[in-house]
Amino acid sequence: MQPTTLSAYLARNAGEVALADLIECIASARWSISNLVKASALDGHQGATDEINPQGEVQKPLDILADEAFFQSCSANKNLSALISEEVEEVTRLRPAQAGTFVLAYDPLDGSSNAAGGQCDERAYPSS
């Protein structure tokens, strides 16, 4: 028996193509973040920066890189109208909200204290 890919599973079970597409974008971002975390010590991306996020927490290089990974993986999704990141003060509006589009709220590394485990927290909400 062959393993099932995420794409194949979603095609059979998601029911809504727009949501399946968004889940694939999130999975792509998580894969990128996992690779960033694995290489962070070698690439010098550990420690802290001089930046403070909107919650008043000191940002780590991995916070910034993980946020960029989410943007790169998800911003072209035509069913996504906005991104809300813990690392960015303002909502990133991608296109006008319409029925059937989503807003993605996420914290790519859940405070970076879990970076060694590559954990990630995200939520998708219908925009209308």
Q: CATH number of the domain that 10 lies in?
A: 3.30.540.10
| Higher-confidence position of 71 and 2 | 71
Phi and psi for 80 in degrees, rounded to 5?
A: -110, 120
Q: Answer whether residue 24 is part of any domain.
A: yes
Average pLDDT for 30-50: 73
Q: What whole-number distance in Å separates Cα of residue 96 and Cα of residue 87?
A: 22
Structural domain containing residue 64: 6-126
Q: What whole-number distance in Å separates Cα of residue 12 and Cα of residue 99?
A: 24
Between 3-7, 52-56, 77-81, 99-103, the lowest mean confidence (pLDDT) is in 52-56
Q: Answer whether residue 1 is part of any domain.
A: no
- Quote the number of domains for the chain: 1
Q: Tell me the whole-structure pTM to 2 decimals.
A: 0.73
Q: What whole-number distance in Å separates Cα of residue 68 and Cα of residue 46?
A: 16
**Edge-to-edge order in the sheet of strand 80-85:** 92-93, 80-85, 102-107, 121-126
When pLDDT is cut at 50, 70 and 90, the band that residue 125 belongs to is low
